[in-house]
Amino acid sequence: MSNLKISCVIVDDEPMAINLVESYVEKTPFLTLKGKFNSAIEAMAFLMSNPVDLLFLDIQMPDLSGIEFSKMLPKETRIIFTTAFDHYALEGFKVEALDYLLKPFDYAEFLTAANKANHWFELVRGKEQSMLSAEKDFLFVKSEYKQLRIKLDDVLYFEGLKDYIKIWLKDNPKPILTIMSLKSLEEELPVSKFMRVHRSFIVALKSIELVERSQIVINNQRITVSEQYKATFTDFINSNSLN
């Protein structure tokens, strides 16, 4: 389950509409309300020093419409428009709104739009994390009271035990032992170079010598690809196959 939190603000000139959306936000676990405002101008002053991820933004408001306001926001701030007028839908999508809620809407409709935002931010933040991970070419791991620098290019595979990980390196007959969970390690590794193929194994993709049925061979060691990871691994094989 994702631990992603999306910060949001409600902007609407109708107090009842604000109260309704606020009640919906409060029952949605991945949304965190940072403010609610009766006008775009009030919201603008807040957002200058308190940027948020997502706006639930009414379109038809005095002084500054939601459409006009949306064009002033940074591209990182996404929008779900809320309005009583369906003829604004096209304008909403022109400014790349994530979704469009037509008043009156119930919680099911709200949650559908919120889930769309959640999916969008998961994709974006996942890409950002992958880019950060891809820059790494080494890790420091604690082993026998020392911090060892491990070159990722030297890793054959990681083997998870109960509270330990065995790090198997090329040209090294004995593994390095470190206290860490395989899940924590997986989050630190570049996805372009490593793949989890089993509850207990993460393999270096470039170290794979042979794939036979549901088994990978690395340095004469056979590692089973479990059902949970088989589809992802099969996609990797197919995308790198000549036939």
User: 90: how many CB neighbours lie within 10 A of its CB?
Assistant: 9
Domain boundaries, the chain: 6-133, 138-239
Residue 90: pLDDT band (50, 70, 90) is very low
Task: Name, in order, each residue with C-beta under 8 angstroms of 129's C-beta and a sequence gap of 6 or more.
Answer: 187
Confidence label for 93 from pLDDT (cuts 50, 70 and 90)? very low
* 148 and 179 Cβ atoms separated by less than 8 Å: no
The listed CATH number (3.90.79.10, 1.10.10.10, 3.10.20.310, 3.40.50.2300) that belongs to domain 6-133: 3.40.50.2300
Q: Between the ranges 87-96, 134-143, 154-163, 185-194, where is the mean pLDDT highest?
A: 154-163
The three-class DSSP label of residue 219 is coil
Is the confidence at residue 162, as pLDDT, over 50? yes
227 three-state secondary structure = helix
Residue 1, pLDDT score: 40
Which of the four CATH numbers 3.40.50.2000, 3.40.190.10, 3.40.50.1100, 2.40.50.1020 does domain 138-239 have? 2.40.50.1020
pLDDT confidence of residue 34: 96
pLDDT tens track for 15-73? 999 999 999 999 999 999 999 999 999 999 999 899 999 999 998 888 888 888 988 88
Q: Tell me, what's the pLDDT at 127?
A: 64
